[in-house]
A and B are shown apart, each in its own frame.
Chain A
């Protein structure tokens, strides 16, 4: 089933949780709603489920207006971060709850049992039907919650931070497993997360949200490779930000030209966003930006190096091969081989990163009102 939210707005007190948001989830699609806390992603999910009533806008299920539909009749499988299992019911009764609550086409008790056992098999919890939720681990509880949602044969599956309360290892396992379940059952699925890695790995399409608006909606590759806004750039993956000047269709740092396409940006101050892989150390003696090494740390097979460069001592992080020895206070040259330039008017994300960079950045951020968020 296709789910379509049109021009949804919702305010809490004076704050806009959702500001004229429109989103379509295609039939059988697996979509991630990604954003920091307070970005409105959970509100959007709950509005689609019918747990929240929007101030304006409409949610359609397959072109059917849902505003007059009772939540009980919507056929929504909803999974909460903290499982929301019925503590006083055994796993069997938890999963059977939706089937037993049916008024029309309620299956016979033997049929319900058969289906519950089938679902338990699907979520790999066979044999645990007689347990109470308190006797299960977090990961097992979340699987029960998913089985319970799947039991009603939902037309859409909505998951609110489904792995948020689990530890890192279980989270990874469940992520892969959820993808498999989705491929087997083919439900239209929308899930909320603040973990960009989770969103990029799991989803067919990622919708990045900030301050009640959608920043970008694209495939994981597009989100990572061509972030539409500085916010998306800095929210996904690691990034350094340095102020540059745009003039004559070129970006310059302290009058050194940076070899990047600046598109149609007007002349004036701009921000250069760099990922660690967008910067390379110059080893062949060619031209580059001189920098002073501030710190190095080992990340897997690479060495993450932080340097200060330019007159205002902007910090840039980049990855160098681990076999090249680099020491603190060493001077070296780097070359920008990627990254994106955004006009000064557009907004980014991540006050920590700004606070860590040079003071001029800090003042600029303050003037833009970022730090008050």
Chain B
């Protein structure tokens, strides 16, 4: 296109003519809204931590206590997301594929971790998994595993809050898979296992990755339920968000924002990788 082209013509080059009205209005609204709610607060965070200067920031970033808390936060979130991916897919499968009495109740129960205030969930879990609670006593007595008030408790809490994300992203996609492809697979001689691994799972993969990402993101940010079930000891069961709160209580705002910035960068990088994986799986399996 030449520079002399009228303005209107240039605009249509990236904006296709459409019968749907309101492109300018809705795009403007979207940008303003995203800026206000997401981008400006994140920028403020970055600016605030920038006031620290590199050396100070680096000192915070390499502080062993902070590193340990970040390791716990991200490690527990990944572990919980992995567990949720396996069992969330099974739950979704059962809810979609089978008709049994109480199915609707079970379906509704999946949303409970969404609906419950996280503090309530934390107290409930702490009661169950505490050394003198029913689950905690059993696990310690039989397997010698302490769950309540340890880093394992963190994982349990994150599994609890993250489960609905996997179930709710996989469920609709699973419902879309039509029976006929499975029937065809059977007529072609494939056993049940082969049908599931070769025919059904590849179609589910993008949804499973999304569920994993959401569950993971939720786990990284989780605070309320974790602080009840973990005993929050430095280097053992202290999560990064808790450390931010501690810094804030010490009026160390720069330190708090520094930790927040590090979390933001790591989260962003991980979500970016997951999105890449997703794009790759879509392409590989011929979606769209």
A residues in contact (CB < 8 Å) with B? 49-51, 71-78, 80, 82, 84-90, 97-98, 101-102, 132-134, 145, 148-149, 151-152
Contact = CB atoms under 8 A, between A and B. Distances in A.
B203 A71 contact: no
A82 B191 CA distance: 22
**Chain B interface extent, by class:** 20 to 34
Most B C-beta atoms less than 10 A away, residue of A74, A88, A89, A98: A88
A88 B180 contact: no
A92 to B, nearest CB: 12
B155 to A, nearest CB: 33
Contacts of A145: 184
A78 B184 contact: yes
Interface in B170-206: 178, 180-181, 183-191, 194, 198-199, 202-203
Given A84-B178, A101-B185, 16 more contacts: A50-B187, A72-B187, A72-B190, A74-B187, A78-B184, A82-B180, A84-B181, A84-B184, A85-B181, A97-B185, A97-B198, A98-B190, A101-B190, A101-B194, A149-B188, A152-B188
B285 interface: yes
A337 to B, nearest CB: 48
Contacts of B194: 101
A313 to B, nearest CB: 49
Given A80-B180, A132-B286, A134-B286, A86 B199 contact: yes
B17 interface: no
A74 B189 CA distance: 8
Most A C-beta atoms less than 10 A away, residue of B178, B191, B198: B198
Contact of B186 (A72, A80, A102, A134): A72
Nearest to A50: B187
A87 B287 contact: yes
Contacts of B284: 88
A86 B181 contact: yes
Contact of A78 (B187, B190, B287, B288): B187
B178 A98 contact: no
A73 B198 CA distance: 19
B178 A87 contact: no
Contacts of A89: 202, 286
A101 B188 contact: yes
B49 to A, nearest CB: 44
Contacts of A152: 188-189
Nearest to A97: B188
A147 B183 CA distance: 16
Contacts of B189: 72-73, 75, 98, 101-102, 152
A50 B188 CA distance: 12
B282 to A, nearest CB: 10
Of all A-B residue pairs in the complex, the 3 with the closest CB atoms, nearest first, are: A88-B285, A132-B286, A98-B188
Contacts of B186: 51, 71-72
A78 B189 CA distance: 11
A86 B286 CA distance: 10
A169 to B, nearest CB: 25
